Structure 1
Amino acid sequence: MTTVSSTTSTTTTTTAASSGYTALTSSGSGTGIDYSTLIEAKVNARLTKADRIDAKITTNEAKITAYTDLQDLLQTVNDSLDGLRNRTTSTGASNNLFGQRTAYIGDDDVFSATVDDDTELGTYSVVVQQVATKHKISGDGTGSKTDALGYSGSFTLQAADGTAVSIDMDSDDSLTDLRDAINAQKSTSGVTASIVQVSDSSYQLILTANNTGEEILLTDGGDGVLSSLGLTDGDGAVKNELVAAQDAIVEIDGVTITRSSNTITDALDGVTLNLYSASPDTAISMEVSTDLSSIKTAITDFVDAYNAYRDFVVSQQSTTSSGTASDDATLFADTLLRQITQSVSSALNTSITADDGTVLSMASLGITFDSSNNLELDEDTLNSILSTDIDAVKQLLGLNMTSSSSQMSLLRYESSQSSLSFTLDIERGEDGTLSSASVGGDSSLFTVSGNRIIGAEGTAYAGIVLVYTGSSGSVDVDFSQGLADKLFSAIDSAADDYDSDLATAIDDLEAQDTTLQSRSDDIRTKAETYRSTLTAYYARLEAAAETAALLLQQLTYSEDDDD
């Protein structure tokens, strides 16, 4: 008897759920092929393209970050320049430092002053002869502020600028009750009550006018309450006056004025005086001047902001020892960065010829380039030109308009022209309104609306709006764009949040990344589908091979049995 032993070969299929595909391994009785490695090779060949796309996205993200950093640095430069452009809010600036005023006072312990923007400059002699005071009176002392006073009746009180109120007292009312009753109506009467503890057994009621220069008026209701409290004497007059009510008296350039308040807003146009103490024998000089400190601070801030921007630019141009771009030089050889750098450099080199023929430049402010092309500031030079020729500083830095007519003013300037000179021939109709404004006989260059003369779109005068209140005639107009204004415009064009070269570049890269990410995701999804298809296909091949191997074994064993 012959014994037949049979060995059964098996194929094992393992699913790796975490990696999203099925790996196949086979015994020696199958095909012997490593399907797992084969599948991975085929799938990875397709994923390579997605990996290249992902690398491009990473590169774009780094560039977006660098562009955003550059944008922030440039906007910081513009923040420092904005107030130096000699523009009003209507012509595009948030403030105009050349229009800001301050008061330089010989002795600010006597008085101080605040000055409105664009107030006329001037020097004044001020003598504070008397400051305004609040009327203050007291009652007689009482032994307790909480015990009943024993007075019944009523009285009225008011400050001269208030309204009379009635105060009613009962015999069981204390000094505290009386104070509270008066204060309940202090906004109407203009009088405030308080209690002062003079000693352990003495308290006094104090009445104070809310405003300076206003006398407290008291009228007894017929019950003698005011006299009992010690507020009035037998004749009804104030008994204990602590501080008399008085007005402020100030002499300005020899003219004496009297006001009820120590805050005087109407003596000098645009100037508010705040009086602190009287100095009747001392004339104090007050100079209303341009706020030079704010201008100096802005210029100093500009130098710091520019140098931070410059450091960033240098870092983007750094190389390794082999001459290749450094790892952090994301914008190495970047065309947009080069364009912005050239534009900024060109604006920095702006020079202006002053009315006296002097050529003004950045160096006139004490600003020069050091050996690293960073800016450095000589404060002595800056202080000198600020204190001696502020008009030259304004002309060098800001937008300047001169006109042959004092009745011509600038309302808006959004022109791309850095300098512009023209003569306007202006006509008024019989009804008094502007009928036309022409240059060289061409009336299409400007339109008129009310008193406004508006530069026509598509012309060199687009973005200019003038206001003219004069009569028919010719007016010469000249514009010049100074260093700060020109640099601001160049940076704004490059770095504005919404409408600039950098904003466009960032938007384009973000849109590109969105498209690339979609393509990468699509490739990876299809690769996983391909993995599943291959796995199923090779599983069928392995199963067919296994079936064939088993059949071959059976045939072999059958032949052996036949023998």
Structure 2
Amino acid sequence: MATSGVSSTSSTPTNTGATIISSLGSGSGIDTASLVDKLVDVNKLPETNRLNTKQTLLQTQISDFGLLRSAFSKLETAAGALGNADTFNAKSTSVPNTTLLGITKLDAKASVGEYSINVDQIAQAQSVSSGNFSSQTATIGKGTLAIRFGSWNNAVDTFTVDSTKNGGTITIDDSNNSLVGLRDTINKSNLGVKASIVAEGSNFKLLVTGPSGASNEVEITATETPGALGLASFNFNQTTRSLTQQQEGKDALLRVNGMSLSRSNNHITDVIDGLEFDLFNKSTTETVNIGVTADKTIAEKAIRDFVSAYNTFLADSGKLIGFDKEKNEYGSLRQDPMAKNLVQQVRSQLNAAVGGLGGSFNTFASLGIRTELDGTLKIDDSTATTSFRSAMDKNFESVRDLFVPKTSSDNAQISVTKYTDKSVPGSYNVVITAQPSKGQLTAGAMVSTFPLDTTGKTYSFTAALDGIAASSITLPTKTYATGAELAADLQSRINADAAISAAKAVVSVVFNTTTQKLEFTSASYGSSSKFAITAASADMADMGISVATGTSGTDVAGTVDGVAAFGYGNVLLPALGSKAEGLNMQINAGATSGKITFSRGFATTFTGLIDNFLKTNGLIKTRETSLTKDVDKVKTDLTAVDRRSKSYRARLQSQFSAMESIVRSLKSTGTFLTGAFKALSASSNDS
């Protein structure tokens, strides 16, 4: 291993000592600079080599943890495909050439089967147009336009509101008081109504088009601001129809396997589960035959890809934590306990049974995927009953359940809608101790009888739904033939209120023919669900309506495995800290008890394990940070060695300098003594 920052020398303490003695004994002077360099190297070299070796190992380990991270990431990606339900629910379809329809979407949830489709009528939208306006920017009046949806009769003089559809109200003021302003306001209202301005000679007309469908025709009622009249020219209701109908609304009519169906638009999404198509034309003779079949090849490929990815992972990680035969050396992480532990956790997870699954298909081995002696996986493609081929062909549903998260309930009124990382797979007993309910208000008995004519009276009221206050609502001058018609009209007007619709609150109104009372019910569950009449004109007493608060709904209550759960609305949440924590259960009215089962599936558990290794504050990042700190520590130690070496060099230089001074002094004394002895010897000889 190469050593950086250190002078290379072959000196040893014995050789250096001999050189010093030789130099001292020679009497020819000492090369102190050379001796100092050699002594410093002898002192510094062992520590420097040790630190450089450690630094190189640490840097290699950081690099190899990066390779280990990459290997885990590739394995996680392969496992992720197995956690997608669509992988196991893939479908394929066959469609003949036709001008009647076109397939726009095929979901994995599509129902397998053969379907014959006849298109008898395509849907169209109602459109109404205004009278002529000489300018697009001339003022048109101020106030509000209330838009509701329903259906007009053939004579276009009787409108039946569709209480299941929410209309809305748009406001015309100084900011949009023009034909252009009205057009833009309608288009921005998100009501599904579109407006455009059509030029006719030197004049302009407003063309309003509703959503397609027979029950999506529009009713428009203007409420004008005194002193700024004009909006009445856009009325289109039973009392006043200032607009002209250009086209009626129609439903699409089709037959699927002989069953007659109607839909409000030509984009069909709910006739065949998971299959969506658009209608283009009708035909009295042509039948379109569509076949939907299961496609297991995608799931099989995903499983085989994972097995291949896992074997590659074992090979790649083995070179890092074991012996690399290609390089004929051990990996840098061979003695790193954490790296070896991470790989072992993955191997253990692969061989563990998937929690929450009953039956025999809960491990890889049960699918005919064996673990070899070297740890790699091998797919059994034989014809044996325990082979992978047999599992795919005969037990495909169980294969899917092994990989994909699954929730189930033995009571249709109790369903699991969500789970979290804290939810422990298994089965849990649920007992409902308090039923969820909706806020309600029952009006008094009807004073008037049907048909109810509102002419000459003021039927107005204000209401609050789920704590949301609505604006005052006034019923128009008309005749309600039945209580059902009155209920539908009230429901439509309340739900169309700007504040109510913005809050997505919904009320249903029905007329109880037995009690002759109107009943108002919030669509939401729980203690925050309520309906109240906050003000009412005197004439509303004819309908049994007066100021009243109604009855608030109740939150569901119950236990999960004997532990009290938290209820909000019709959602039951297991206690914090319990094994079932994080399982959201939707409880429908009437449920008393049931058993729910939750399995996270192999893929979700496996990818969750690897994600703990790879995330920004995960185990690998923590270890890399620790190694980086160790590298910095080694660099600090190398700097300290250099600093100590410099101090040692200075000390040696000082010592040799002192020694040389002494030697020079001794030599001078020796020379003096030699001269003195010579002089004494000469004097003695003379005498």
TM-score of the two chains, using structure 2 as the length reference: 0.50
Q: Is residue 126–residue 285 contact of structure 1 (8 Å, CA) maintained in 2?
A: yes
Supply the distance in 1 between the matched residues of 2:659 and 2:356 (Cα, whole angstroms).
Answer: 91
Name the residue aligned to 1:136: none
Query: Which residue identity is paired with 1:54?
Result: N
Alignment of 1:439 onto 2:560: yes
Name the residue aligned to 2:30: 32
Supply the distance in 2 between the matched residues of 1:557 and 1:166 (Cα, whole angstroms).
Answer: 139
Question: Cα offset for 1:164?
Answer: 4.9
Question: Cα offset for 1:396?
Answer: 1.7
Where does 1:262-273 land on structure 2 (aligned, <5 Å)? 271-273=275-277
Tell me, what secondary structure is at the counterpart of 1:478? strand
Q: Is residue 563–residue 575 contact of structure 2 (8 Å, CA) maintained in 1?
A: no
Question: Cα offset for 1:78?
Answer: 1.8
Where does 1:406-485 land on structure 2 (aligned, <5 Å)? 406=412, 407-415=414-422, 417-428=424-435, 431=527, 432-434=553-555, 436-443=557-564, 446-470=565-589, 473-485=592-604
The change in CA–CA distance for 1:81 and 1:318 in structure 2 (over 3 A counts) is closer
Alignment of 1:534 onto 2:541: no
Deviations 1:136-167 (A, max 9, x none): xxxxxxxxxxxxxxxxxxxxxxxxx9865699
Where does 1:126-165 land on structure 2 (aligned, <5 Å)? 126-127=116-117, 164=198
Q: Is residue 399–residue 481 contact of structure 1 (8 Å, CA) maintained in 2?
A: yes
Name the residue aligned to 1:377: 379
Supply the distance in 2 between the matched residues of 1:53 and 1:454 (Cα, whole angstroms).
Answer: 57
Q: Is residue 424–residue 477 contact of structure 1 (8 Å, CA) maintained in 2?
A: no
Q: Is residue 128–residue 275 contact of structure 1 (8 Å, CA) maintained in 2?
A: no
Question: Cα offset for 1:422?
Answer: 3.4
Tell me, what secondary structure is at the counterpart of 1:417? coil
Alignment of 1:125 onto 2:111: no
Alignment of 1:105 onto 2:94: yes
Q: Is residue 318–residue 326 contact of structure 1 (8 Å, CA) maintained in 2?
A: no
Name the residue aligned to 2:606: 487
The change in CA–CA distance for 1:277 and 1:552 in structure 2 (over 3 A counts) is farther
Supply the distance in 2 between the matched residues of 1:416 and 1:107 (Cα, whole angstroms).
Answer: 47
Question: Cα offset for 1:302?
Answer: 0.7
Name the residue aligned to 1:286: 291
Tell me, what secondary structure is at the counterpart of 2:419? strand
Name the residue aligned to 1:396: 402
Question: Cα offset for 1:405?
Answer: 3.4
Deviations 1:369-428 (A, max 9, x none): 456442233568656644654421222223322223334223122136343433344535
Higher relative contact order (CA 8 A, sep 6+): 1
Question: Cα offset for 1:554?
Answer: 5.2
Tell me, what secondary structure is at the counterpart of 2:594? strand
Supply the distance in 2 between the matched residues of 1:427 and 1:331 (Cα, whole angstroms).
Answer: 58
Q: Is residue 435–residue 556 contact of structure 2 (8 Å, CA) maintained in 1?
A: yes
Match for residue 306 of structure 2 among 276, 291, 302? 302
Supply the distance in 2 between the matched residues of 1:376 and 1:457 (Cα, whole angstroms).
Answer: 42
Deviations 1:479-512 (A, max 9, x none): 234333443344344x223344433333332233
The change in CA–CA distance for 1:459 and 1:269 in structure 2 (over 3 A counts) is closer
Query: Which residue identity is paired with 1:74?
Result: F
Q: Is residue 350–residue 482 contact of structure 1 (8 Å, CA) maintained in 2?
A: no
Name the residue aligned to 1:48: 46
Tell me, what secondary structure is at the counterpart of 1:421? strand
The change in CA–CA distance for 1:83 and 1:318 in structure 2 (over 3 A counts) is closer
Tell me, what secondary structure is at the counterpart of 2:411? coil
Question: Cα offset for 1:455?
Answer: 4.2
Name the residue aligned to 1:69: 67
Supply the distance in 1 between the matched residues of 2:423 and 2:52 (Cα, whole angstroms).
Answer: 42
Question: Cα offset for 1:470?
Answer: 4.2
The change in CA–CA distance for 1:451 and 1:518 in structure 2 (over 3 A counts) is farther
Supply the distance in 1 between the matched residues of 2:275 and 2:607 (Cα, whole angstroms).
Answer: 32
Q: Is residue 32–residue 656 contact of structure 2 (8 Å, CA) maintained in 1?
A: no
Query: Which residue identity is paired with 2:308?
Result: D
User: Root-mean-square deviation (CA), in Å?
Assistant: 4.8
Name the residue aligned to 2:364: 362
Supply the distance in 2 between the matched residues of 1:539 and 1:117 (Cα, whole angstroms).
Answer: 91
Aligned residues: 423
Query: Which residue identity is paired with 1:97?
Result: D
Name the residue aligned to 2:626: 508
Where does 1:310-321 land on structure 2 (aligned, <5 Å)? 310-316=314-320
Q: Is residue 413–residue 465 contact of structure 1 (8 Å, CA) maintained in 2?
A: no
Tell me, what secondary structure is at the counterpart of 2:86? coil
Alignment of 1:405 onto 2:395: no
Name the residue aligned to 1:153: none
Tell me, what secondary structure is at the counterpart of 2:422? coil
Name the residue aligned to 1:330: 332
Where does 1:194-213 land on structure 2 (aligned, <5 Å)? none
Name the residue aligned to 2:57: 59
Query: Which residue identity is paired with 2:603?
Result: A
Supply the distance in 2 between the matched residues of 1:34 and 1:131 (Cα, whole angstroms).
Answer: 111
The change in CA–CA distance for 1:50 and 1:418 in structure 2 (over 3 A counts) is farther
Q: Is residue 30–residue 546 contact of structure 1 (8 Å, CA) maintained in 2?
A: no
Tell me, what secondary structure is at the counterpart of 1:97? helix
Tell me, what secondary structure is at the counterpart of 2:331? coil
Q: Is residue 128–residue 277 contact of structure 1 (8 Å, CA) maintained in 2?
A: no
Tell me, what secondary structure is at the counterpart of 1:498? coil
Alignment of 1:553 onto 2:671: yes
Q: Which is worse superposed, 547-556 or 72-81?
A: 547-556
Deviations 1:321-376 (A, max 9, x none): 9xxx9514333365335434443333323446999944454245443345644223
The change in CA–CA distance for 1:511 and 1:356 in structure 2 (over 3 A counts) is closer
Query: Which residue identity is paired with 1:439?
Result: V
Q: Is residue 412–residue 466 contact of structure 1 (8 Å, CA) maintained in 2?
A: no
Question: Cα offset for 1:452?
Answer: 4.2
Instruction: Give ranges in structure 2 of 5+ residues lacking alignment.
Output: 8-18, 123-194, 208-250, 438-526, 528-552, 683-687
Identity over aligned residues, as a percent?
18
Q: Which is worse superposed, 306-315 or 380-389?
A: 380-389
Q: Is residue 426–residue 473 contact of structure 1 (8 Å, CA) maintained in 2?
A: yes
TM-score of the two chains, using structure 1 as the length reference: 0.60
Query: Which residue identity is paired with 2:579?
Result: A
The change in CA–CA distance for 1:508 and 1:112 in structure 2 (over 3 A counts) is farther
Supply the distance in 1 between the matched residues of 2:358 and 2:409 (Cα, whole angstroms).
Answer: 17
Question: Cα offset for 1:307?
Answer: 0.7
Deviations 1:101-138 (A, max 9, x none): 54422547887634375745353524577999xxxxxx
Deviations 1:173-214 (A, max 9, x none): xxxxxxxxxxxxxxxx9xxxxxxxxxxxxxxxxxxxxxxxxx
Instruction: Give ranges in structure 1 of 5+ residues lacking alignment.
Output: 1-16, 86-94, 133-160, 169-188, 190-246
Q: Which is worse superposed, 453-462 or 75-84?
A: 453-462
Tell me, what secondary structure is at the counterpart of 1:402? strand
Question: Cα offset for 1:523?
Answer: 2.4
Name the residue aligned to 2:614: 496
Query: Which residue identity is paired with 1:532?
Result: A
Q: Is residue 77–residue 302 contact of structure 1 (8 Å, CA) maintained in 2?
A: yes
Query: Which residue identity is paired with 1:72?
Result: S
Q: Is residue 324–residue 331 contact of structure 2 (8 Å, CA) maintained in 1?
A: no
Q: Is residue 407–residue 598 contact of structure 2 (8 Å, CA) maintained in 1?
A: yes
Supply the distance in 2 between the matched residues of 1:401 and 1:347 (Cα, whole angstroms).
Answer: 21
Name the residue aligned to 1:238: none
Q: Is residue 40–residue 645 contact of structure 2 (8 Å, CA) maintained in 1?
A: no
Supply the distance in 2 between the matched residues of 1:356 and 1:318 (Cα, whole angstroms).
Answer: 38
Q: Which is worse superposed, 54-63 or 426-435?
A: 426-435
